[in-house]
Amino acid sequence: MIPNSTLLPALTSTFQDLLANPPPAIPSPVTVPKRASVALVLRVQPNPAHLPAPTAGTPASIEEFFQQEWVSHGEVELLFIKRAARKGDRWTSHVAFPGGKRDPEDGGDREAAERETLEEVGLDLSTEPNLYSGHLPDRIITTSWGTTPLMVLCPFMFLLLSPTPPALSLQPTEVASIHWVPLRTLLSPDFRTFETTDVSDRLARQFTGFHGRIIRYGLRLSLGHMFFAAIELQPTTSVFSPFGNDFLGERERLVVWGLTLGVLADFLDMLPPAGGTLDMWVWPTLTAPDVQLVAKVMTSGLRKRNLEAAREAVASGRNDRGSTVHMLLEGYLIEVRKAVWITIAARAAVGTAVIGTVLARWLK
């Protein structure tokens, strides 16, 4: 894994660049005024052999913080939450960053991230000893297949300065658990994995009742599941809410994927190795072989163009581009959806032809 001698200078320059040259904010579309914010919170866990001096003062800058002796021997960690299981919630049980929708009372997107973090995990980013460390690229969140915009998501970064950060208090109706994960493991290819999800509901939402259940069951049998690139988390510290429904449940493996992985990838691409997320990128697809083939053929040119554009953007600089994953997926999921229906239609045509041939021979 990447040593601190490489990681810490990279973090210093990354945060300095984010603060000096923030990416442009994306205004809300006229038809979609909703906005949400998340907080990427980093801390350094001290090495017991290199504890900070009791009289150590609070550093005045990011550069001064990372130059401290105890920090150079510590482990940089990122905070994740596992959302509480809630029926009907599209984000139920997902691994995510603290955050949520912006309220009219919030002074801005950053204030929304700070308020939501305080409400969900009890961490006051506006008063605790921390350094605001920059604004990652905004992104427009769309429906599952990228067809309809839902809201604008705004990610912000914070660095906790204390070697003994305050104990967290979880809101059980929102958060089942929190996890501190070493940044070096998130950069390592050893923990890259996949996450599968059922897409039948996404394809057949317009069908309801008994017919809808039949259609979704048929889609599930014929298409299998959709799998996405993911990172398996290896926490050093976890805290579970004793008041939530998940406390006594079976401990599942923790993986970050989808929207949260996209935000995380924007940050990781700013660290060494540059563009490492692109090198390990896996295009979302379905497990059915014929759908995979059709989707691969239909998206061949698009994937090549998007990948080249993302590589050029990463190579050109950190803050003059939008979200890397958004660039990769631009138009891709819409084409995959088309491939699904084309494959289903082709299956129906072939099936009809086979049945017709069999019947014709039987009648003769």
pLDDT given for residue 207 in this prediction: 57
Q: How far apart are CA 208 and CA 212, in angstroms?
A: 4
Mean pLDDT by 10 residues, the chain (364 residues): 89 93 87 92 95 79 93 97 78 89 94 97 88 92 74 96 88 93 93 83 60 68 80 94 67 86 90 68 86 93 92 68 78 88 89 86 80
Q: Looking at residue 319, what is its pLDDT?
A: 46
Extents of the domains making up the chain: 4-363
**From CA 46, how far away is CA 34, in angstroms rounded?**
40
Q: What HEC string does the chain produce?
A: CCCHHHHHHHHHHHHHHHHHCCCCCCCCCCCCCCEEEEEEEEEEECCHHHCCCCCCCCCCCHHHHHCCHHHHCCEEEEEEEEECCCCCCCCCCCEECCEEECCCCCCCHHHHHHHHHHHHHCCCCCCCCEEEEEECCCEEEECCCCCCEEEEEEEEEEEECCCCCCCCCCCCCCEEEEEEEEHHHHHCHHHEEEEEECCHHHHCCCCCHHHHHHHHHHHHHHHCCEEEEEEECCCCEEEECCCCCCCCCCCCCCEEEHHHHHHHHHHHCCCCCCCHHHHCCCCCEECCHHHHHHHHHHCHHHHHHHHHHHHHHHHHCCCCCCCHHHHHHCCHHHHHHHHHHHHHHHHHHHHHHHHHHHHHHHHC
Q: Can you give the pLDDT at residue 2?
A: 84
Confidence (pLDDT) at 196: 85
Q: What's residue 124's pLDDT?
A: 94
CA dihedral (62, 63, 67, 73) positive or negative = positive
User: Contact at 8 Å (CB) between 115 and 106?
Assistant: yes
The top-level CATH class assigned to 4-363 is alpha beta
CB 277 within 8 A of CB 268: yes
